[in-house]
Amino acid sequence: MSGSRSRTRGALLLIGLAAVALLVACSPTPSEGDQLGMWPPVGTGAQAVDRHWWTMFAIGAAVWAVVTAMLIATMVRRRREPKGDGRRGPLFVAVAGAIIPGVIVAGVMAQAVVVLQETNPLDDDGETVIEVTGHQFWWEVEYPEEGVVTANEVHIPTGQRVRLELTAEDVIHSLWVPQLGGKTDMVPGHANSMWLETDEPGMYWGQCAEYCGLQHAQMRFLVIAHEPEEYQSWLAHHSQPAESDIPAAAGAEPTEQEEMIAWGREVFMSSSCVYCHAVAGTEARGEFGPDLTHMASRETLGAGILPNNRGNLAAWIVDPQSIKPGNEMPGTNIDGPELQALLAYLESLE
């Protein structure tokens, strides 16, 4: 008897340990420094998904606890009591095996329908529309009403629903911003749409979520949520070219920096850069690569993989293939002084 009791205790201990291990595995990772963590969810869509997930987890945990308790009770009872007459068996199977699970599944499905409504509402009044196009391996971002084109950063206003119109240039990509909402595929020749909405200003990492080639994992971007006034001034600034007249206005002697920028502009305009990149207000109108009109104001280079600073920019221009093998930008054969001038020009595009 004492042997069977200690076996029962051992089994309970094992089950307890398994439960703890399961809970530890499921616990949220700290989002500090974790670029793609989902917690804390701050977008309406992500919050709805989070709520749904916890509901399902709670139901799953409760079912597991009840079934485990019954299993243990059965193991303990079988040793002590004679078998019953089995008349209650069919009723128990019908209730516990069909009716209760049916009610649970129907409840979860009802909640899923509500969550789908919240994450993808059908009415589309008065929202901001932003067009995002997936390329191997970067994101083109357009504000059609304001004529703004940028790359690898989606700036949105807080407190209102933003509709993203999604498509792709080459292969299928998928846009995902874990803290704001679910994933939506970007398909060549087909427009998909999704919503982003948050009340929390901040920067949120996004990631391509559909395998699209060698640098799929390095196809990142940022969503930057601004207070509405700040968003309007960002939009106003970005709807104008960054270029000022270079060198300085007639009469004034250009500074050394201005001369450097003017030289760098010449380097840029006379090189192959202009076949792939556009800078609004200049003759550079290439559409193959990211628009560079305000490139110096962006946070990252190479679609979210490097902080945007002079050293990284120089490395990227000279040898982008060693940083992100398989991307579409070739290396640039350029001497030191010309590179410095080119950097000065690009850094002036704020």
Question: Which stretches of the chain bind ligand CUA, using CB under 6 A?
Answer: 134, 137, 173, 208, 210-212, 216, 219
In the complex with ligand CUA, which residue's Cβ is closer, 115 or 209? Answer: 209
d(CA 207, CA 171): 16
d(CA 193, CA 173): 13
H/E stretch holding 33: none
In whole angstroms, the minimum distance from the beta carbon of 7 to ligand CUA comes to 52
In the complex with ligand CUA, which residue's Cβ is closer, 169 or 266? Answer: 169
- Contact in structure between 311 and 271 (CB atoms under 8 Å): no
In whole angstroms, the minimum distance from the beta carbon of 41 to ligand CUA comes to 23
In the complex with ligand CUA, which residue's Cβ is closer, 48 or 132? Answer: 132
- Contact in structure between 183 and 209 (CB atoms under 8 Å): yes
In whole angstroms, the minimum distance from the beta carbon of 150 to ligand CUA comes to 18
d(CA 296, CA 235): 16
Cβ-proximal residues to 121 (8 Å cutoff; 6+ apart), any chain: 161, 195
In whole angstroms, the minimum distance from the beta carbon of 17 to ligand CUA comes to 39
In whole angstroms, the minimum distance from the beta carbon of 42 to ligand CUA comes to 24
d(CA 158, CA 160): 6
In the complex with ligand CUA, which residue's Cβ is closer, 173 or 265? Answer: 173
140 - beta bridge partners? 133, 151
In whole angstroms, the minimum distance from the beta carbon of 219 to ligand CUA comes to 4
In the complex with ligand CUA, which residue's Cβ is closer, 221 or 316? Answer: 221
- What number of other Cβ atoms are within 10 A of residue 251's Cβ? 5
Helix (H, G, I), strand (E, B) or coil at 129: strand
130 - beta bridge partners? 164
In the complex with ligand CUA, which residue's Cβ is closer, 119 or 207? Answer: 207
